[in-house]
């Protein structure tokens, strides 16, 4: 075998292990009916309007995408806030790509660090490490929230980015406006705060922090959102960051040329008009998460209140990995949350009502056999 140059730091970067796909499980276990409640996807299929627009755009698949990026930014920005325009939005190949861009843009020197909650989305850790920086992990509060004062207190001269996830994956909790304001007052202006809001469409809490306010105030804030979840377009790979114009323009330097296809961009743009789809997806999630939590309680399980499209079961009566594995053999893909810094939990994505009911029935059997 020939040798090749290796970066020892890169080898230490944890691999992002996504949930298993339905096909994989079908092949591995030979189980026919598989219900996937593992990756916080929308189980309703994509918006038909998005599919139609993407199909139309495919007739130009021989060309690099033309104005599709600009078209989507122009349509999206004012819907986010009347004070925003296309100069405030940076699109990427999924929110994950945007998080990669952010790390490359700000974590560019050895010895610099980023700060994040220990029980949260692992991509920030991965992106920081790949970019060559260090991560400072802050323990969550006793009720699994971000410990924002502790996060602010750990900022030092080498801190470039602080990540906040609201609703947080995998705990489902949000940051309230009062806590957000207090936190932002403690963060030095030069530090970039990434407000990861991939699940914001499912929030119904009235005190949910409005992070766009900080963008409009000119703070160095990047709000990251995605078309993967609420628009049901995970496979189209479109995510975006919202920031003040100078920050957004700076971030664009880390963008790949033709970062995603025009069919995906056109699909995402069309999904914005499908109010019926967006509303039914949201309602399904709001009803489904309440149903799951109530049923988990009947089974004697503790779960965390959630403002997202998933519910975390904490301290189940068997090790989370074993519970996830047993459920897998019964045809349900859910995920143990050790890689997300929550080793005592299993995360269950809200499915359709029929899927939720089947899941709860099988979970009940598994728990009673434990
Ligand atoms: C908190 C959070 N941020 C960002 C993303 C990125 O999603 P995508 O790359 O599909 O846009 C996810 C996906 O699971 C997520 O959970």
Task: Kindly state whether residues 342 and 364 are assigned to the same domain.
Answer: yes
- Protein residue whose Cα sits closest to atom 15 of ligand 1: 198
Residue 1 is assigned to a structural domain of this protein: no
Q: 249 alpha carbon to ligand 1 midpoint, in Å?
A: 22
Count the neighbouring beta carbons within 10 Å of the beta carbon of residue 181.
13
Structure tokens that stand for 186 in this block: 């403690």
Distance 94 CA to ligand 1 centre (A): 7
| Interior angle at CA 274, CA 273 and CA 277, nearest 5 | 155
Distance from Cα 17 to the centre of ligand 1, integer Å: 13
Q: In this predicted structure, what is the pLDDT of residue 338?
A: 94
Q: Are residues 37 and 179 in the same domain?
A: no
8 Å CB contact between 183 and 151: yes
Alpha helices, DSSP H, located in the chain: 8-11, 22-29, 48-57, 68-80, 95-106, 123-131, 148-153, 177-186, 212-216, 245-252, 262-271, 275-298, 320-329, 353-369
Domain that holds residue 321: 8-45+275-369
Is residue 240 over pLDDT 80?
yes
Residue with the nearest Cα to atom 2 of ligand 1? 198
Decide if pLDDT at 8 tops 90: no
User: Of 16, 41, 95, 234, which is best to mutate to test ligand 1, by the most ligand atoms within 8 angstroms of its C-beta?
Assistant: 95
**Alpha carbon distances (Å) from 231 to 95, 170, 221:** 13, 20, 24
Query: What is the rounded CA–CA span in Å between residue 203 and residue 218?
Result: 25
Q: Is residue 81 part of a domain?
A: yes
Instruction: Kindly list the protein residues whose Cβ atom lies closer than 6 A to any atom of ligand 1.
Output: 40, 94-96, 121, 165, 169, 196, 198, 226, 228, 234, 239
Task: Output the pLDDT for position 25.
Answer: 85
Interval between CA 57 and ligand 1 midpoint (Å) = 25
Kindly report the CATH number assigned to the domain that includes residue 187.
3.40.640.10
Are 109 and 86 in a shared domain?
Answer: yes
Q: Which of 271, 293, 321 is the last residue of a domain?
A: 271
Compute, in angstroms, the gap from residue 41 CA to the centroid of ligand 1: 10
CA distance 77 to 293: 35
Rounded Cα–Cα distance for residues 214 and 76 (Å):
18
- For position 24, what pLDDT does the model report? 86
How would residue 237 be classed by pLDDT, with cut points 50, 70 and 90? very high
Q: What is the pLDDT of residues 89-129, one digit of tens each?
A: 999 999 999 999 999 999 988 899 999 999 999 999 999 99
Question: What's the CA gap between 194 and 222, in Å, rounded?
Answer: 5
pLDDT at 204 over 80: yes
Mean pLDDT of the chain: 96
Q: What confidence tens digit (pLDDT) does each residue in 205-217 have?
A: 999 999 999 999 9
Nearest CA to ligand 1 atom 6: 95
**Per-residue pLDDT for 28 more than 90?**
no
Domain endpoint, select from 252, 271, 290 = 271
Assign residue 352 the CATH number of its domain.
3.90.1150.10
Q: Cα(first)–Cα(last) distance of the chain, in Å? A: 48
Mutate to test the pocket of ligand 1, among 91, 103, 169, 226 (most ligand atoms within 8 A of CB): 226
Contact 44, 281 (CB under 8 A): yes
Please indicate whether residue 12 or residue 152 has the higher confidence score (pLDDT): 152
- 18 CA distance to ligand 1 middle (Å): 11
Do 355 and 333 belong together in one domain?
yes
Nearest atom in ligand 1 to 95's CA: 11
For 151-177, b where at least 16 C-beta lie within 10 A, e where not — what string? bbeebeeebbbbbbbbbbbbbbbbbbe
Res. 18: pLDDT tops 80: no
- Please tell me the residue having the least CA distance from ligand 1 atom 5: 95
The reply to whether 98 and 25 lie within a common domain is no
Average pLDDT over residues 33-57: 96
Q: Which of 271, 294, 324 is the last residue of a domain?
A: 271
The count of structural domains within the chain is 2
CA gap 363, 360 in Å, rounded: 5
142 CA → ligand 1 middle, Å: 25
In a domain, 2, yes or no: no
CB within 8 Å of 300: residues ≥ 6 apart: 317, 367
Question: How, if at all, do strands 159-165 and 221-226 pair?
Answer: unpaired
Q: What is the pTM of this model?
A: 0.96
Which residues touch 261 (CB under 8 Å, ≥6 apart)?
57, 61, 65
My answer on whether 132 and 36 are in the same domain is no
CA of 223 to the centre of ligand 1 (A): 12
Residues 118 and 13 in one domain: no
**pLDDT tens string 249-277:** 999 999 999 999 999 999 999 999 999 99
Q: Which residue has the CA at smallest separation from atom 7 of ligand 1? A: 95
- Ligand 1 center–CA 301 separation, angstroms: 27
């Amino acid at each position: 075998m020939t040798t090749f140059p290796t970066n020892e730091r890169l080898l230490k970067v944890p691999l992002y292990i996504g949930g298993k796909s339905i096909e994989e499980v079908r092949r591995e276990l030979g189980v026919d009916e598989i219900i996937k409640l593992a990756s916080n996807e929308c189980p309703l299929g994509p918006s038909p309007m998005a599919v139609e627009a993407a199909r139309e755009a495919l007739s130009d698949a021989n060309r690099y995408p033309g104005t599709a990026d600009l078209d989507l930014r122009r349509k999206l920005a004012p819907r986010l806030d009347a004070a925003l325009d296309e100069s405030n939005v940076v699109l990427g190949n999924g929110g994950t790509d945007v998080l990669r861009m952010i790390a490359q843009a700000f974590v560019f020197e050895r010895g610099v660090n980023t700060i994040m909650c220990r029980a949260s989305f692992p991509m920030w850790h991965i992106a920081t490490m790949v970019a060559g920086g260090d991560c400072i992990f802050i323990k969550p509060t006793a009720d699994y929230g971000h410990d924002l004062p502790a996060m602010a207190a750990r900022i030092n001269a080498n801190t470039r980015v602080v990540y906040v996830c609201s609703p947080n994956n995998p705990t489902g909790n949000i940051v309230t406006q009062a806590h957000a304001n207090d936190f932002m007052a403690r963060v030095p202006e030069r530090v970039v705060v990434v407000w990861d809001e991939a699940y914001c469409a499912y929030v119904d809490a009235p005190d949910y922090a409005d992070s766009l306010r900080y963008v409009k105030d000119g703070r160095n804030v990047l709000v990251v959102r995605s078309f993967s979840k609420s628009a049901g377009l995970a496979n189209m790979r479109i995510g975006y960051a919202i920031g003040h114009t100078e920050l957004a323009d700076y971030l664009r330097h880390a963008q790949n040329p033709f970062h995603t296809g025009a069919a995906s961009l056109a699909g995402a743009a069309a999904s914005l008009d499908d109010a019926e789809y967006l509303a039914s997806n949201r309602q399904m999630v709001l009803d489904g998460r309440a149903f799951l939590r109530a049923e988990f309680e009947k089974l004697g399980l503790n779960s965390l209140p959630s403002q997202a499209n998933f519910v975390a079961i904490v301290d189940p009566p068997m090790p989370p990995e074993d519970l996830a594995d047993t459920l897998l053999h019964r045809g349900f893909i859910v995920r143990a949350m050790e890689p997300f810094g929550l080793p005592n939990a299993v995360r269950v994505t809200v499915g359709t009502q029929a899927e939720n009911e089947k899941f709860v029935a099988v979970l009940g059997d598994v728990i009673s056999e434990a």
